[in-house]
Structure 1
Amino acid sequence: MAMLEFDDVDVFYGKVQALRGLSLQVEEGEIVALLGNNGAGKTTTLSTASALMNPSSGSVQFNGTDISKGKPWDVVGAGLIHVPEGRRIFSTLSVHENLLLGGYLVKNRALVASRLKHVYELLPLLEQRRSQQGGTLSGGEQQMLAIGRALIAGPKMLMLDEPSMGLAPLIVAQVMQVISDIRDQGTTVLLVEQNARAALKVTDRAYVIEEGATTLEGRAKDMIADPRIIDAYLGA
């Protein structure tokens, strides 16, 4: 059984159809990438998994439970955590306060403290900046903070929307290494990324989404050599 499964999902924004019979699976322990151009439906896919959008038809299952008509807080409580595009940290709060907000649904304070310790070990730069306002961090540091905040919630699966956007190549490599480390420590990852080259270096499998439907899928190591992928997303 897949950890996350979309089965023939249609989603509309008013009269505009954003997903068209979308089907995909993410198995436990994988990093899976969603590739595609702007407007292809990648962000809508994550929003639907997060219950921010509800399908008009088809189903979305997480760990065997249908979440198609669920509420966002129930999805978070089930362990499916979404880091949206643009990071959306709280700029006037400190790094430490931003991280603590990730545990707002976790009633066990000792568990939050344990996860906080783990995040500081995984991302030591955040501990160095713990008293600094979030808005004063660099773009790469803010992305690390957004990921760290999500980890405080204790995700079984982490969904990341364009984590490399606006970052220098060296920082992109660091972010991708953190994503790989997170998977190695037991968290499944679904990654939306326009930087196909960076994504395919760390993922196990990938789907290409065009006009709201999956048009290609395969192992990352095969897709990085596929002429269609090279042509559309990787360049020469």
Structure 2
Amino acid sequence: MAMLEFDDVEVFYGKVQALRGMNLRVDEGEIVALLGNNGAGKTTTLSTASALVRAHAGRVAFNGQDVTRAHPWNVVSAGLIHVPEGRRIFSTLTVLENLQLGGYLVKERGLVAKRIERVYELLPLLAERRTQQGGTLSGGEQQMLAIGRGLVAGPKMLMLDEPSMGLAPLIVNQVMQVISEIRDQGTTVLLVEQNARAALKVTDRAYVIDGGATTIEGSARDLMADSRIIDAYLGA
């Protein structure tokens, strides 16, 4: 079953076209990566899916519902959660307070508490740091907090924008392992990532985006063996 679909989506920033007939599909239970250079349209794709950016043409569907003209809060309520590039945690709030804000639209406070406990089980370091201000965490810890905050919202699908940016290789591996565990626990994942090697190790499929459109699509295994991907993203 398709969880997220883009059909010939076009997006403009003023007179600059960012997406040019974008087509992609993410099925339930998958981890799918979007690969590409800076300015290719990866972040715009996520922002369009979450209704932060409005498509000028084409159709965006989430879980079978047309969300092309939806409001961002309706998309969140439907279960599509976007963890943006740069973490964007609240630096002066504690880890616990940041996580609680992830459940802002959840009416049952008891459900928020249960989800926070599940986040602590998945990311025990956050439990140890629960009373610590977010701004005092390391970069890797802040990324885990941003992911955990997204999970408290109760996503059917989690979109992650550059979760490995600025992190040491060991921490990148830990982040990717967490992403894999999130999928194993039942959440579909769409991952924007410049570290193609790390992304392809945990994803089922990937799209390469260039000039605002998908140019290559395939299984992670096939793309890791594709000479175009090796030359452009993986090295020798």
- Residue type at the aligned position of 2:189: V
What is residue 122 of structure 1 aligned with on the other side? 122
- Paired with 2:111 and 2:132, the residues of 1 have a C-alpha distance of 24
- Residue type at the aligned position of 1:115: R
State the Cα deviation string for residues 150-196 of structure 1 (Å, max 9, x = none). 00000000000000000000000000000000000000000000000
Matches within 5 A, 1:125-204: 125-204=125-204
**Which segments of structure 1 move beyond 3 Å, counting only runs of 4 or more?**
none
Query: Scaled by the length of structure 1, what TM-score is found?
Result: 1.00
Offset, 1:110: 1.1
- Residue type at the aligned position of 1:52: L
Structure 1, unaligned runs of 5 or more: none
- Paired with 2:38 and 2:69, the residues of 1 have a C-alpha distance of 26
Q: Secondary structure at the match of 2:199?
A: helix
State the Cα deviation string for residues 95-152 of structure 1 (Å, max 9, x = none). 0000000000000111111101100000000000000000000000000000000000
- Paired with 2:64 and 2:172, the residues of 1 have a C-alpha distance of 34
Structure 2, unaligned runs of 5 or more: none
- Paired with 1:29 and 1:97, the residues of 2 have a C-alpha distance of 29
Q: Bigger CA drift: 41-50 or 106-115?
A: 106-115
- Paired with 2:167 and 2:4, the residues of 1 have a C-alpha distance of 29
Matches within 5 A, 1:34-53: 34-53=34-53
Q: Secondary structure at the match of 2:163?
A: coil
What is residue 79 of structure 2 aligned with on the other side? 79
Query: Scaled by the length of structure 2, what TM-score is found?
Result: 1.00
- Residue type at the aligned position of 1:17: Q
- Paired with 1:7 and 1:178, the residues of 2 have a C-alpha distance of 30
- Residue type at the aligned position of 1:92: T
- Paired with 2:55 and 2:148, the residues of 1 have a C-alpha distance of 30
- Residue type at the aligned position of 1:107: K
Q: Secondary structure at the match of 1:3?
A: strand
Aligned sequence identity (%): 81
- Paired with 1:96 and 1:168, the residues of 2 have a C-alpha distance of 25
- Paired with 2:15 and 2:92, the residues of 1 have a C-alpha distance of 38
